[in-house]
Amino acid sequence: MPIYEYVCVECKHTMEAIQKMSDDPLTDCPECGKVALKKKISAAGFRLKGSGWYETDFKNGQKKADSKDSGD
């Protein structure tokens, strides 16, 4: 199951929640109790994108992936 990261726009509280794709996004902040949670882009999504990108470079025989990574 994907992990979603939420941030409260009222009190800046951040939290992670494990949810199904079909679950409704959370809206209630556990810190201040307001309906102010916003979903951030999940870290898991970033990781998947990153590895795919790296693999493409590797297959092309380019060894510049490391320098590209650090420059990002």
5/31 with CB nearer Zn ion: 31
- Cβ count near 60 (within 10 Å): 10
Find the shortest distance in angstroms from Cβ 29 to Zn ion: 3
Between 15 and 65, CB nearer to Zn ion: 15
Residues near Zn ion (CB under 5 A) are 8, 10-11, 13, 29, 31-32
Please say which residue, 4 or 29, places its beta carbon nearer to Zn ion. Answer: 29
Which token pair is 17?
């929640």
d(CA 57, CA 55): 5
